[in-house]
Amino acid sequence: MKGNRTIILLAGFAILLAGQACLKHDPLNQPFKGYQPVQIDDGLIISDPASEKVDGDALRDIYLDMHDEGLYWQFRSMLIFRNGKLISESYMKDDADISRRHLIWSCTKQFMGVLVGIALEEGLISDINDPLSDYMPQTAGYPDKAGISIRNLLMMQSGIDYSNDGTQGQTDKILRQLPDNITEFILDRPVYTLPGTDFHYNDGDPQLLSAMIQHLAGKPTDEWADDVLLSRIGIENYNWVRYRDGITLGGFGIETTPRELAKLALCVADSGHYDGHQIIPGDWLEEMLAEQVIIDEDYAFGYFWWIDRNREISFMAGHGGQYAYIIPQKELLVIMTSIPNTQGDHQINFADANPIIDRIISICQ
């Protein structure tokens, strides 16, 4: 019996010990270590908050909040530029994100908006009011798409029934690379309304523009973009993904760093100038950033660019919480990136980012 008692005591102890076992989560954000930008010779001009008349203590409080996982656990980075200079940066997950590429999702659309302006300047297209069919022979078999203009596409008003939504939408099928031909896949979609009559945010419209540019340029859109824009404004650390039929993705598709993303926003904020050269036509930028479509009392849409009507801000926005805000009245530019594949309320939405933008604006003299 003594042996039995020993066995049952040992077994009981083992069960008790096993029952206590549990896993605890790791810190979701790294501790805040400071916001002084690091010089990595990527062409950005470094400064500091005091020199650019920004309250450094208040800025520190903002960064502390962004590193507080109880408040936000999805943020990956925030960079602030004033007067064209990088005054602060911090990485919530990993300092290596300074040079590590991540998905920027629909911020790709804002690149497309700029590229259409350059295509106009370069003579690839003569008028954005021209129908897409003038430039893309592939649309010939689709008479219901004949009335869609380039401008309709830039304003998300093609009238094509394309959905970005979850597992039912067309984007999911593209992400799973199910269609053989991405352009025909979009053109095959029915038209639900007349072009130019309804704003419907979707990935199909910018994708058709990428296909158009690729056809006109005679090379993949990403290669042409590198020639006419990206290499000229110092964007080097990026990858722009093509579909399996060779067409560069247009509604999403760029993987890059927060610093590289900032370079496009800096050039747009500086009326298309970079290093003393006019890279993007200034009149195009004015049109691109004007309120082309009023979405509601808070937001409008330019040519693929978002406009915060109350704050008078133009911004780039990508799924999950990828943002580049241009705040002209304060000579301010704010980049925020986040983990990219969250859905619904788990993303950093406009409503999450806006209070941070307001706090940053409030600490700039």
Partner 1 sequence: MFLLLIALPLRYAGAQEHKPASYLDFGAGFFQVKDGKNYGLVFNGGMLNTSFMLRGHHGNHLYDYRVDFGFGPSFAKGIAGINIKLNLVNMDYCFRLAGNNSFSLYLGPYLGLNYQFQLYPELHSGHLLWFTFYDLGPRLILEADLWEQHFRFSFSGAVLGLVSRPVEMNEVYYYSLKVSDIIGKLHSNFKGGSIDVMNHIDFETEWKIPGSVKSSLAYRLEYQYYRPQASLDYLSHTIMYRMKLGTKKSAQ
Q: How far is the CB of 209 from partner 1 (least distance, A)?
A: 18
Judged by CB under 8 A, which of 150, 300, 317, 339 binds partner 1?
A: 339
Looking at residue 203, the DSSP 8-state letter turns out to be S
Which stretches does DSSP call E strand in the chain?
A: 75-82, 85-91, 102-103, 238-240, 254-256, 273-274, 277-278, 293-294, 299-301, 306-308, 313-318, 322-327, 332-338
Residue showing tokens 């399996």 = 244
179 vs 244: CA distance, rounded Å: 9
Judged by CB under 8 A, does residue 293 bind partner 1? Answer: no
Amino acid at 205: D
**Smallest gap from residue 8 Cβ to partner 1 (A):** 5
Determine if 39 is a binding residue for partner 1 (CB under 8 A): no
Stretch that binds partner 1, among 113-121, 131-139, 167-175, 296-304 (CB under 8 A): 167-175
Q: Is 3 one of the binding residues for partner 1 (CB under 8 A)? A: yes
Q: Which range, of 49-57, 282-290, 325-333, 343-351, touches partner 1 by CB under 8 A?
A: 343-351
Nearer to partner 1 by Cβ, of 69 and 308: the residue is 69
* Residue 95 touching partner 1 (CB under 8 A): no
- How does DSSP assign 267-324, residue by residue? HHHTTTEETTEE-S-HHHHHHHTS-SEE-SSSEEE-SS-EEETTTTEEEEEETTTEEE
Q: How far apart are CA 320 and CA 313, in angstroms?
A: 20
- Only one of the segments 9-17, 36-44, 120-128, 283-291 lies at the binding site for partner 1 (rule: CB under 8 A); that segment is 9-17
172 interacts with partner 1 by CB under 8 A: yes
8 A C-beta contact, residue 195 and residue 241? no
Please report whether residue 190 would count as binding partner 1 according to CB under 8 A: no
Query: Residue 244: CB partners within 8 Å, gap ≥ 6?
Result: 177, 180
- 279 lies in the site for partner 1, by CB under 8 A: no
Collapsing DSSP to helix, strand or coil, 148 comes out as coil
Taking the least distance from each CB to partner 1, the nearer of 24 and 351 is: 24
In the complex with partner 1, the residue whose CB is nearer, 125 or 316, is 316
Q: How many CA atoms lie within 13 A of 295 on its CB side?
A: 19
Of 143-151, 309-317, 326-334, 337-345, the window that binds partner 1 (rule: CB under 8 A) is 337-345
**Smallest distance, partner 1 to C-beta of residue 185, A:** 15
Binders of partner 1 among 106-165, rule CB under 8 A? none
71 binds partner 1, rule: CB under 8 A? no
Candidate list 51, 271, 341, 362; residue touching partner 1; CB under 8 A: 341
- State phi, psi for 149 to the nearest 5 degrees: -95, 165
Residues 216-275 that bind partner 1 (CB under 8 A): 241, 249, 252-253, 255
CA 340 from centre of chain: 10
Give the binding site for partner 1 (CB under 8 A): 3-4, 7-8, 11, 14-15, 18-19, 21-28, 73, 93, 102-103, 166-167, 172, 175-177, 241, 249, 252-253, 255, 339-344, 346
